[in-house]
Amino acid sequence: MATAAATSATEPETEPKAGPKAEGEEDEIKAAKTRRKVLSRAVAAATYKTTGPGREQQEEGVSESDGDEYAMASSAESSPGEYEWEYDEEEEKNQLEIERLEEQLSINVYDYNCHVDLIRLLRLEGELTKVRMARQKMSEIFPLTEELWLEWLHDEITMALDGLDREHVYDLFEKAVKDYICPNIWLEYGQYSVGGIGQKGGLEKVRSVFERALSSVGLHMTKGLAIWEAYREFESAIVEAARPIAGFLSPFDRDQTFDSQLEKVHSLFRRQLAIPLYEMEATFAEYEEWSEDPIPESVIQNYNKALQQLEKYKPYEDALLEAEAPRLAEYQAYIDFEMKVGDPARIQLIFERALVENCLVPDLWIRYSQYLDRQLKVKDLVLSVHNRAVRNCPWTVALWSRYLLAMERHGVDHQVIAVTFEKALSAGFIQATDYVEIWQAYLDYLRRRVDFKQDSSKELEELRSAFTRALEYLKQEVEERFNESGDPSCTIMQNWARIEARLCNNMQKARELWDSIMTKGNAKYANMWLEYYNLERAHGDTQHCRKALHRAVQCTSDYPEHVCEVLLTLERTEGTLEDWDIAVQKTETRLARVNEQRIKAAEKEAALAQQEEEKAEHRKKTRAEKKALKKKKKTRGTDKRKADEDDEKEWGDDEEEPASKRRKVENSVPPAGEAQALEAETGLFGRSAPVAIEPPSKQKERAAALKRDVPKVLHDSSKDGVTVFVSNLPYSMDEPDAKLRPLFEACGDVVEVRPIFSNRGDFRGYCYVEFKEEKSALKALELDRKNVEGRPMFVSPCVDKSKNPDFKVFRYSTALEKHKLFISGLPFSCTKEELEEICKAHGTVRDIRLVTNRAGKPKGLAYVEYENESQASQAVMKMDGMTIKENVIKVAISNPPQRKVPEQPEARKGPGGPMVPRQIYGARGRGRTQLSLLPRALQRTSTAVAQAENGPAPKPAATSAATEAPKMSNADFAKLLLRK
């Protein structure tokens, strides 16, 4: 079906889109005119035989060469030709492919592409009989596009040998014009019927076909012109054929033959000039040249009026010419305009034109059928449109429901409606609730057939049998397929119970049904009990009402006060004192229990709220402790540097390095100052001092020093509206400002690109980009996930998370999206273009997103967004289980699980005890293999360290029991090693 839409939505490749003439079909019209010249000779010869002497004797003996001549002319352009294979291997390959396609269709007859491929191969192999059977099977399931029909018709015309074959071709034409509105097929139909003009009733047949063609597509502003011209050519050919013998006829015969035929041509010109069509001026000039008499004033007035109408329609037609298929928005605007004008013929035409390119849009079919149901109400037209709608979009339950209603409305036989309902059940709906809806529509129809004045009837038994079958079907078929009932409230059983109680006076059956409803998990809802109570109140007795309310008081959990109030009202109105006492006791007991449960729930909720407050307070306290600890560490670092300066500078002026960077010192080349200091100590270590050379890393260190010297710019939260936060950038990026500025300047004027560096001067992979205007910042968000040096760049709004802790940046929806697919199991080598090529065969693809990790590597997942949910539904059925590069993919409607709120790092507990900040164990927590790499000689208590000769020991932090020992500089380590 998706391929049908794609094929019908595009014009043939031989039809250029230049100019407004017939939507770019100038070459096709020229070819049609050439064929009509050939046909004119056939018309002239046949007309002479039918109007000349010996008319009766010649009528049946007219040579069929006219039809053969047409067949040769019409099939010359599209004849498949003769394919001669030079290698037997090619034929064997095609035969194997044909067998494979036939086997695949035996498994899944709804595979549209498989049908098309099979027909193509069979036609290529010259298997004409098999081609005909394959086309017939496909046309029974799917409506065929204009291209497929024309190919089939040309093949059949070529094989037509006698009158029976010609009738078969006529039948094919009748089927073809019913699928979609196709001006080209109507034109071929009219021209082919001209070939049979010599047969009995041939002339009337031709005129009938052309008149129907004008009714169908004569108002088509761009393609209707070809039909009008072909019809006029046919009638003009008859006039020219009869002109030589007109002088020999009596006045009466002349009036009956020649003059009446001449008037037919005049009538066609006048009818055409009265409607707005492209190239009306050329038609009017042709009429002036052809007509021997002056053109009547009424014709000129109608022509001018049509020209004015043409100017009103031109903007909509021009919009269609300029837009690309399927042009749904342009057609919708055109339909709105025609609906305001209110011409039924033109409204029907624009709907048909829109559906040619948008046959898989259920909403368009619904709107069209709704208009026909409420306005035109023509039985054949309404039922035809409904039938075509369900053939194009069989997965849409609303179309099937409307079809059943339309058939009932127009008095279609019950057996036909029942067959249509069975087709609906096998259509393959995508939701469990769809099956409930179609069953409900059919049960409503069966209920309206029953005469409930009779105690028993065939229709009533059929209704009860249908209710039973519906419940079994929903339980066995739907629940197994969707893992849900689709009818949790048991609406079908409720309706059945109401029918039994109100229309059949069978309360016993109604009570049985309600007992079954309550056992399916509905007993806890007050509204279900009250619905049952109202039914008992209206059609049962007080005893059963009281019994139902007593059960409701015990079972209801959502609104128990309501059912208690109803019970007390009943007993106050109709009950005895004993009944009142029992009701009061039960309601008081139940409400007391409910209040107790609510108090416990409130206390639990309050406890949870208190816990959340305590956690928030703990987080706040932890953050304060961390800040204090950082300040102390900075103070200690300053003291150490001062102590090192006062030392004898045996180890040089070493800076304290982070622990994560310390191991790199062993392999790095010391600066020149350190090399000179180490020369005096070479005897201690037994190795010579390194040569004072400047390695490449020296330049990086210098650059890092320069970056450290750059003053930090505090973030101004007042500029968040014009700032974006850019992250996931490569850490190795040199000069981020210079590389990112041109990228963001395309969105607007950039005030500043502020990259963030570490203390050592290394780029941390994120930055802030400030714009002059807010609209530039909003536009910059579109650069999210853009590839920068092999990584997807994340661009998000700049938000102060300390003020907005719940702010999350996630650009994709986490709810059910029926127009979007989730595909898993893709090969990692699958590109976006390859996936789009596969997906676009099933509908119009709006967007494809391949899911990647932070490094830009594919994860084998993708989201594919279609134009509407019907196309997505079809794609699920066609693509699920497909093999792509030896990977079997899974395809489903996009319905991501709810995103879990991550635990706060501060809320995590350390192993075996109290709350411990996560940062102690690093970004990913405690590793599984953490070895102690500190030498035993250095594994001393903090007291021993405090007594070292490298200055006063730093004071331990009193705020945290888990605080690490104070860090030491290179000089501290050196002195400890020397003391060993």
Give domain status of residue 647, yes or no: no
pLDDT tens sequence across 351-371? 999 999 999 899 999 999 999
Confidence at residue 723, expressed as pLDDT on a 0 to 100 scale? 92
Provide the domain limits for residue 860: 820-893
- How many domains is the chain partitioned into structurally? 8
pLDDT tens sequence across 463-478? 999 999 999 999 998 9
Look at phi and psi of residue 147 and say left if phi exceeds 0, alpha if psi is from -120 to 50, else beta. Answer: alpha
Residue 690 in this model has a pLDDT that exceeds 50: no
Confidence at residue 669, expressed as pLDDT on a 0 to 100 scale? 41
Give domain status of residue 898, yes or no: no
Contacts for 863 with CB less than 8 Å, ≥ 6 apart: 812, 820, 821, 822, 823, 847, 848, 849, 851, 894
> Predicted confidence band at 79 (pLDDT cuts at 50, 70, 90)?
very low
* One domain, residues 847 and 781: no
Residue 504 in this model has a pLDDT that exceeds 90: yes
Q: Which of residues 557, 574, 607 is at a domain's end? A: 607
> Predicted confidence band at 956 (pLDDT cuts at 50, 70, 90)?
very low
* One domain, residues 137 and 153: no
- Tell me what the mean pLDDT of segment 179-186 comes to: 92
Confidence at residue 332, expressed as pLDDT on a 0 to 100 scale? 94
> Predicted confidence band at 899 (pLDDT cuts at 50, 70, 90)?
low
Strand order of the β-sheet with 763-771 is 750-757, 763-771, 723-727, 791-797, 786-788
* One domain, residues 792 and 864: no
Give domain status of residue 976, yes or no: no
Confidence at residue 975, expressed as pLDDT on a 0 to 100 scale? 64
- Tell me what the mean pLDDT of segment 952-976 comes to: 51
Average pLDDT, the chain: 77
Q: Which of residues 573, 607, 641 is at a domain's end? A: 607
Residue 399 in this model has a pLDDT that exceeds 80: yes
> Predicted confidence band at 686 (pLDDT cuts at 50, 70, 90)?
very low
Query: Of the ranges 17-26, 91-100, 569-578, which one carries the lowest mean pLDDT score?
Result: 17-26
* One domain, residues 757 and 836: no
* One domain, residues 159 and 232: no
pLDDT tens sequence across 291-302? 888 999 999 999
- Tell me what the mean pLDDT of segment 776-790 comes to: 86
* One domain, residues 249 and 194: no
Residue 683 in this model has a pLDDT that exceeds 60: no
Give domain status of residue 724, yes or no: yes
Q: What string of H, E and C letters represents the secondary structure of 137-196?
A: HHHHHCCCCHHHHHHHHHHHHHHCCCHHHHHHHHHHHHHHHHHCCCHHHHHHHHHHHHCC
Q: Beta strand 883-884 with 890-894: parallel, antiparallel or unpaired?
A: unpaired
Cβ-defined contacts of 364-373 (< 8 Å, 24+): 364/328, 364/331, 365/389, 365/392, 365/393, 365/396, 365/399, 366/398, 366/399, 366/402, 367/335, 369/399, 369/402, 369/406, 370/402, 371/339, 371/347, 372/348, 373/402, 373/406, 373/409
Confidence at residue 51, expressed as pLDDT on a 0 to 100 scale? 39
* One domain, residues 824 and 840: yes
Give domain status of residue 663, yes or no: no
pLDDT tens sequence across 574-615? 999 999 999 999 999 999 999 998 899 899 989 999 999 999
Any idea what the CATH number is for the domain that residue 731 is in? 3.30.70.330
Residue 917 in this model has a pLDDT that exceeds 50: no
> Predicted confidence band at 701 (pLDDT cuts at 50, 70, 90)?
low
Distances (CA, A) of 740 to 117, 754, 782: 50, 10, 15
Any idea what the CATH number is for the domain that residue 391 is in? 1.25.40
Confidence at residue 897, expressed as pLDDT on a 0 to 100 scale? 66
* One domain, residues 136 and 151: no
Q: Which of residues 565, 587, 607 is at a domain's end? A: 607
Residue 804 in this model has a pLDDT that exceeds 60: yes
Confidence at residue 7, expressed as pLDDT on a 0 to 100 scale? 37
- Say how far apart CA 586 and CA 609 lie, in whole Å: 34
Query: Of the ranges 85-94, 137-146, 729-738, which one carries the lowest mean pLDDT score?
Result: 85-94
- State which H helix or E strand residue 298 sits in: helix 297-322
- Say how far apart CA 685 and CA 974 lie, in whole Å: 11
Give domain status of residue 668, yes or no: no
* One domain, residues 386 and 366: yes
Give domain status of residue 662, yes or no: no
Confidence at residue 930, expressed as pLDDT on a 0 to 100 scale? 41
* One domain, residues 269 and 253: yes
Give domain status of residue 758, yes or no: yes
pLDDT tens sequence across 423-465? 999 888 989 999 999 999 999 999 999 999 888 889 999 999 9
Residue 112 in this model has a pLDDT that exceeds 80: yes
pLDDT tens sequence across 485-498? 889 999 999 999 99
pLDDT tens sequence across 832-844? 888 988 898 888 8
pTM, to two decimals: 0.58
* One domain, residues 101 and 171: no
* One domain, residues 223 and 192: no
pLDDT tens sequence across 875-888? 887 888 888 888 88
